[in-house]
Amino acid sequence: MIVVMRAGAEKAEVDAVCSLIRAEGLEAFVSEGQERVIIGVVGIDIDRVAHVGTMPGVEQAIRVTSPHKLASLEHQRDRTRITVKGIPIGAGAPLVVMAGPCSVESPEMLFETANLVKREGGHVLRGGAYKPRTSPYAFQGLGEDGLKLLAEARAQTGLPIVSEMTDASQMEAFEEYVDIIQIGSRNMHNFTLLRAAGQGRTPVLLKRGFGATIDEWLMAAEYVLSAGNANVILCERGIRTFERATRNTLDLSAVPVLREMTHLPVVVDPSHGTGKRSLVASMSLGAAAVGADGVIIEVHPDPPHAWSDGDQSLSFPEFAALMDELRRSEYLRRGDSGRPRTVSVPATVGDMRERIDTIDSHLLGLVDERAQLALGIARAKGTDDHGHDAAREHSLLERARATQGAVLDGEELEQVMSAVLRASRQMQRRHAAEQRDSVRTPA
């Protein structure tokens, strides 16, 4: 800390400040300038003299080290990676998708949603059993019965569970039934709850208070960390501003800001962040693009009839389309993209056509990307022919034949691969010919 004295401060005032600092076991280094005195304060527990700025003769006291002792990069340079049931979160691991309903309403809707999340490649199932609602008359959640249903959904799908804890007395049940304890936006300042979550080892998803600065949010994380639980994931879920076009203002800049301040993983919640279904996909892609370690998304089998947050919940086809988009942008784990997947077929022909059009344009783009790489190989090998490698083509065709898709069989997939290879060969011949021509007739 640096204490700046007022111009013309009395020597007695400077001495009083230095005595206070030393009495608290810290060191004070006085430097006398032409106009004013500056005192450097050094020591571990700077907070003991936090009030020095109000002493007579002091103009201001400036903190130079981070007050977030355990959360800060000063404390730990290596980014934290938290592994939940084998799923790595943070420190450069692929984007983690947590998804599920706002509230657990019934076994049927929960299991249906859990199976969809699993099928589409989501990693963690969300669902609220205790709902902190703005109105005491709104649905408050199924409580412990909801937690039991979540645990049953986990048993069916293998997906770990994230759910919100609203009171310290629920800790035992949460340790039994969930894999990540969510602390909600409204409870970010509930220090008793934070300490309780800090007493266990279950990872904590700490949502940003909608009126909290990033500093206050990190101090809340500090409560969990200092109580002994190092497994904290931060979740940006939007803050309240003057803007009314969205339910909250999703502060995506918090992601890179936090990267410069903390080693903890950061997840983004575009559902509460926007409050509007139509904005969730673009803000999820935005979150991934700015480096979020994960997204948490509300999905419901019948959003217009959801008991809470229906306006911001994605339908099943919308969630499937978002997962496709994240996969195409390579934000998801690479291994996920090659695996044959069962997609949820939209209800109307119009929606089906729209998804097919999107897939076709991705498909053509991918084939072109593949062709550029094939050309790169031919150039690296320095071949002047079209450079195709018959043995490798043969093994690619065999691999396609051995693949069983959800609806296409091996023979049909081999035909697709064969068409891709044919087009690629033709392109390489054309480039090789152009190359030879340009050598013969130099410009």
Q: Return all residues near 34 (Cβ < 8 A) that are at least 6 apart.
A: none
Nearest to residue 165, comparing CAs of 188, 137, 139?
A: 188
Per this entry, what is the length of the chain? 443
Nearest-angstrom CA–CA distance, 145 and 177: 11
User: Closer CB to Mn ion, residue 236 or residue 309?
Assistant: 309
User: Closer CB to ligand PEP, residue 28 or residue 250?
Assistant: 250
Contacting ligand PEP (CB under 6 A), which of 68, 123, 154, 237? 237
Binding to ligand PEP (CB under 6 A) within 39-98 occurs at none
User: Closer CB to ligand PEP, residue 126 or residue 328?
Assistant: 126
Three-class SS state of 304: helix
Total interface residues for Mn ion by CB under 5 A: 2
Which x/- pattern over 44-83 shows residues binding Mn ion (rule: CB under 5 A)? ----------------------------------------
Per DSSP, what are the bridge partners of residue 31? 38
Three-class SS state of 30: strand
User: Closer CB to Mn ion, residue 293 or residue 309?
Assistant: 309
User: Closer CB to ligand PEP, residue 123 or residue 328?
Assistant: 123
Nearest-angstrom CA–CA distance, 159 and 170: 22
Contacting range for ligand PEP; rule: CB under 6 A; set: 86-94, 178-186, 346-354, 407-415: 178-186
One-letter amino acid at 76 equals Q
* Residue 161 token pair: 């569970």
Which x/- pattern over 280-309 shows residues binding ligand PEP (rule: CB under 6 A)? ------------------------------
Nearest distance, CB of residue 248 and ligand PEP, angstroms? 8
Nearest-angstrom CA–CA distance, 419 and 111: 40
Nearest distance, CB of residue 238 and Mn ion, angstroms? 12
* Residue 253 token pair: 């800049």
Nearest distance, CB of residue 149 and Mn ion, angstroms? 17
* Residue 252 token pair: 């995506």
Nearest distance, CB of residue 128 and ligand PEP, angstroms? 5
Nearest-angstrom CA–CA distance, 313 and 308: 9
User: Closer CB to Mn ion, residue 211 or residue 340?
Assistant: 211
Nearest distance, CB of residue 140 and Mn ion, angstroms? 13
Nearest distance, CB of residue 289 and Mn ion, angstroms? 24
Q: Does residue 309 touch Mn ion according to CB under 5 A?
A: yes
Rounded to 5 degrees, φ, ψ at 212 are -105, 140
Q: Does residue 277 touch ligand PEP according to CB under 6 A?
A: no
Judge whether 251 and 221 are in contact, CB under 8 Å: no
User: Closer CB to Mn ion, residue 102 or residue 268?
Assistant: 102
Binding-site partner at residue 300 among Mn ion, ligand PEP, none, CB < 5 to 8 Å by type: none
Nearest-angstrom CA–CA distance, 46 and 35: 26
Nearest distance, CB of residue 206 and Mn ion, angstroms? 16
Binding-site partner at residue 207 among Mn ion, ligand PEP, none, CB < 5 to 8 Å by type: ligand PEP
User: Closer CB to ligand PEP, residue 200 or residue 209?
Assistant: 209
Contacting ligand PEP (CB under 6 A), which of 100, 121, 122, 128? 128
Nearest distance, CB of residue 366 and Mn ion, angstroms? 35
Q: Does residue 421 touch Mn ion according to CB under 5 A?
A: no
In the chain the first and final C-alpha atoms are separated, in Å, by: 68
Binding-site partner at residue 237 among ligand PEP, Mn ion, none, CB < 5 to 8 Å by type: ligand PEP
Q: Does residue 185 touch ligand PEP according to CB under 6 A?
A: yes
CA torsion, points 268, 271, 272, 274, in degrees to nearest 10? Answer: 100
Nearest-angstrom CA–CA distance, 204 and 400: 43
Residue 376 belongs to what H/E stretch?
helix 349-381
User: Closer CB to ligand PEP, residue 157 or residue 308?
Assistant: 308
Strands 37-42 and 2-5: antiparallel
Binding-site partner at residue 185 among ligand PEP, Mn ion, none, CB < 5 to 8 Å by type: ligand PEP
Burial class (CB in 10 A: 0-12, 13-18, 19+), 244: exposed
Geometric angle at alpha carbon 185, from 128 and 62, rounded to 5°: 155
Per DSSP, what are the bridge partners of residue 206? 183, 234
Alpha-carbon dihedral sign for residues 383, 386, 390, 391: positive
Q: Does residue 102 touch ligand PEP according to CB under 6 A?
A: yes
Contacting range for ligand PEP; rule: CB under 6 A; set: 179-187, 332-340, 394-402, 430-438: 179-187
Binding to Mn ion (CB under 5 A) within 86-145 occurs at 102
Q: Which residues bind ligand PEP (CB under 6 A)?
A: 102, 128, 184-186, 207, 237, 269, 272
Q: Which residues bind Mn ion (CB under 5 A)?
A: 102, 309
